[in-house]
């Protein structure tokens, strides 16, 4: 009994020591990773501090003259954008004071995917504040449904009144023609014969 009891105690102690050693290793590993990341960020920050715009390649016609005329302007533009980024954007989620994050920001701005504050621009989808397609048609006519374009067309057609639609049916046209024919041959008014009624002269046939 003593043998097994001693073995059980030693096993428990050994497991605790392994667990503690594992935790220490994980903490050291996390600290090491954090230090590596900090070093990378510092290097990237220095790159952003000292960045110089690239010259136009020699294969571009007139590159020498263009570089002489535009290099200072492009450098100044970069510095203005960098200072704005550091003042207004750095510190927001996903943006650090590093060259990589600045490059991501400028690329997104150039593509129209980010606003000046680094926020994603919603370019579609018809959100609550950004109605699209069907919602716009519905707001304009008050008759469009949210089912699809076919239903929008159908509802737009249905804006013609039922009375107007009946006028266009074949049966309605025939009735209207008959009424017109009768009216042209009846020369009575509501009070009797019309005032301009005259008898036709008799003619011999043949």
The answer to whether residue 5 sits within a structural domain is: no
- Asked if the structure places residue 147 within a domain, the reply is yes
Same domain, 51 and 104: yes
In a domain, 146, yes or no: yes
pLDDT at 29: 80
Question: Looking at residue 146, what is its pLDDT?
Answer: 44
- What pLDDT is recorded for position 31? 84
* Number of domains into which the chain is organized: 2
Report the C-alpha gap between 80 and 76 in whole angstroms.
6
Asked if residue 137 and residue 105 are part of one domain, the reply reads: no
Residue 38 domain flag: no
Mean pLDDT, rounded, for 38-62: 92
* Same domain for 98 and 50: yes
80, 111, 142 - which closes a domain: 111
Q: Is the pLDDT of residue 25 over 90?
A: no
Asked if residue 189 belongs to a domain, the reply is: no
pLDDT 10s digits, 102-138: 999 999 999 999 999 999 998 765 555 555 544 444 4
Give yes or no: residues 102 and 138 share one domain: no
Q: Quick check: 43 pLDDT over 70? A: yes
Would residue 94 count as lying in a domain? Answer: yes
Q: Could you tell me if 53 and 100 lie in one domain?
A: yes
> What DSSP assignment string belongs to 94-159?
T--SSHHHHHHHHHHHHHTSB-TTSPBP--SS--TTS--THHHHHHHHS---SS-HHHHHHHHHTT
Q: Cα angle at 40 between 77 and 115, to 5 degrees? A: 40
The pLDDT value given to residue 136: 46
**Average pLDDT value for residue range 84-94:** 95
Does 142 lie in the same domain as 106? no
Greater model confidence, 143 or 66: 66
63 inside domain: yes
Is 84 found in the same domain as 53?
yes
Please, which residues have CB within 8 angstroms of residue 98's CB and are 6 or more apart in sequence?
Answer: 41, 44, 45, 48
Which one of 64, 79, 111 terminates a domain? Answer: 111
Q: 138 and 105 in one domain?
A: no
Q: Which residues pair with 189 in a beta bridge?
A: 192
Domain identity same for 100 and 155? no
For residue 145, what are the domain limits?
133-172
Ranges 3-12, 19-28, 58-67, most confident: 58-67
More confident residue, 75 or 205: 75
Q: Do 90 and 138 belong together in one domain? A: no
Higher pLDDT, 143 or 24: 24
Is position 79 within any domain? yes
**pLDDT confidence of 30, banded at 50, 70, 90?**
confident
Kindly state whether residues 138 and 81 are assigned to the same domain.
Answer: no
> Is 202's pLDDT higher than 80?
no
pLDDT higher than threshold 70 for residue 36: yes
Q: What is the DSSP letter of 60?
A: S
Query: What percent helix, strand, coil does the chain show, rounded to 5?
Result: 60, 5, 35
Question: 152-192: per-residue pLDDT in tens?
Answer: 445 444 544 555 555 556 666 777 766 665 555 555 555 55
């Amino acid at each position: 009994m003593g043998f097994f009891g001693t073995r059980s105690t030693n096993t428990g102690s050994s497991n605790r020591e392994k667990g503690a050693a594992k935790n220490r290793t994980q903490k050291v590993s996390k600290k090491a990773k954090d230090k590596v990341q900090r070093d990378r960020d510092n290097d990237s920050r220095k790159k952003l501090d000292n960045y110089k715009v690239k010259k136009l390649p020699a294969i571009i016609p007139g590159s020498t003259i263009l570089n002489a005329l535009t290099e200072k302007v492009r450098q100044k533009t970069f510095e203005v954008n960098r200072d704005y980024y550091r003042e207004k954007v750095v510190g927001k989620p996903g943006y650090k004071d590093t060259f990589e994050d600045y490059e991501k920001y400028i690329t997104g701005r150039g593509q129209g995917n980010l606003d000046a504050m680094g926020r994603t621009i919603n370019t579609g989808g018809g959100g609550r504040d950004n109605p699209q397609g069907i919602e716009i048609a519905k707001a304009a006519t008050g008759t469009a449904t949210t089912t699809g374009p076919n239903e929008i067309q159908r509802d737009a057609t249905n804006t013609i009144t039922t009375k107007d639609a009946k006028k266009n049916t074949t049966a309605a046209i025939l009735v209207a023609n008959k009424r017109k024919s009768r009216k042209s041959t009846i020369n009575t008014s509501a009070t009797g014969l019309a005032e301009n009624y005259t008898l036709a002269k008799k003619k011999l046939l043949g």
